Structure 1
């Protein structure tokens, strides 16, 4: 069975949802495996590639909230992550354009390290509050994932993997995806949002019992 996952690196629900999906994979019976394909999604493709403001301040400015109201609205997400067993320091997160990060994820896929890189990117953003607009930060996270720096540095200086990212975004439009994370099982069944493991199990069991159903 093939599962395609559209997610964005600065999306807290993607961070939580992918963690829940990983737990679902760990709970599968021994010997059962799925083909996982990570797809790119950009929540704000027009986000600045140079400015990286604190996310609390940005939320307050965008909607006219006070800083305290913005924190209150974000606190629930941090609590949600805690219940999922994930560290999160959401008040330290910084805005970023994720296009270059997605290009690196596609590059890492060539050596089967895309999941490791995504882990590093999520941790860098949601736990360490790193600036993902900074190419040196991206390179450091790339190396954290066990990858050689040279290829990534060359990619960041060019348009390498831009077509792959754009293809994912186009496919998301065709599917009518309006929010992430979005999980597509064998092109037949979808799961949207940071759902608990039980939801993934239900979809998986339905498809394995009725593989021709859509």
Structure 2
């Protein structure tokens, strides 16, 4: 049976990535060959130099990086929250704290191995965008992972060690080789790339294009090592 691989680079601290996830899920649910699609979530840190302790809220970070008044920063984030609401997501970005997400990414890799990848990914995204959870905090990550089905003691062992650090770095190195510098980025069959929270219709079109195009050697090499061609 022919398969189609979709690699998705995202950051757990990216409100647009959660919106993009929902839109991709909508596109995939309408795709007639969805059972033959293999989705691989890849780690990406938008700012790997962020501190692990919370220092500023997301509105404060927006105002610092983009300028404007506090009201203007709040308005920009409110617009993102409105788009999220259209996808069934409840955002409270005024509560969000941008922090280092490396350990949260390690947690998702562990969760994938433990069979709870999707549940943990969802829980972390919802906690950051809607609950003000600090995703660099050890106890918070253990709690969220446990709520999503992980065993707490094993999760603590992973997070207090260095397991899955290589997996996170491998994803980020693959993104660098492919010239990916923003998220979410979707790469279909290692050939077609789309960046940003694309509409579901655009993602469906890309799924169809990738499915209909020849995929030579797809099962003989890792498609994430290919140089994608930007989709028009």
Cα pair distance change 1:61/1:192, threshold 3 Å:
closer
Out of 140, 145, 148, the position equivalent to 2:148 is 145
- Inter-partner Cα distance in structure 1 for 2:35 and 2:72: 46
- Inter-partner Cα distance in structure 2 for 1:133 and 1:181: 20
Gaps of 5+ in 1: none
> How far is the alpha carbon of 1:177 from its aligned partner?
0.5
> How far is the alpha carbon of 1:211 from its aligned partner?
2.2
The runs of 4+ residues in structure 1 deviating greater than 4 Å are: none
* 1:210 match: 213
- After TM superposition, the score normalised by the length of structure 1 is 0.94
- Inter-partner Cα distance in structure 1 for 2:41 and 2:74: 31
Q: Is the 8 A contact 1:5 1:37 kept in 2?
A: yes
- Inter-partner Cα distance in structure 1 for 2:156 and 2:58: 27
> How far is the alpha carbon of 1:28 from its aligned partner?
2.4
Q: Is the 8 A contact 1:52 1:131 kept in 2?
A: no
- CA-to-aligned-CA distance 1:81-139 (integer Å, 9 cap, x gap): 11222111111111111000000111111123111111000000011111112111111
Within a 5 Å distance, the mapping from 1:153-192 to structure 2 comes to 153-192=156-195
Out of 40, 46, 50, the position equivalent to 2:49 is 46
- Inter-partner Cα distance in structure 1 for 2:95 and 2:54: 15
- Inter-partner Cα distance in structure 2 for 1:36 and 1:63: 34
- Inter-partner Cα distance in structure 2 for 1:56 and 1:180: 19
* 1:200 match: 203
- Inter-partner Cα distance in structure 1 for 2:153 and 2:80: 36
Correspondence 1:107 to 2:107: no
- Inter-partner Cα distance in structure 1 for 2:189 and 2:34: 19
Out of 120, 124, 131, the position equivalent to 1:121 is 124
- Inter-partner Cα distance in structure 2 for 1:64 and 1:85: 29
- After TM superposition, the score normalised by the length of structure 2 is 0.87
CA RMSD in angstroms, aligned pairs only: 1.7
Instruction: Name the SS for the 1:43 alignment partner.
Output: coil
Q: Is the 8 A contact 2:54 2:97 kept in 1?
A: no
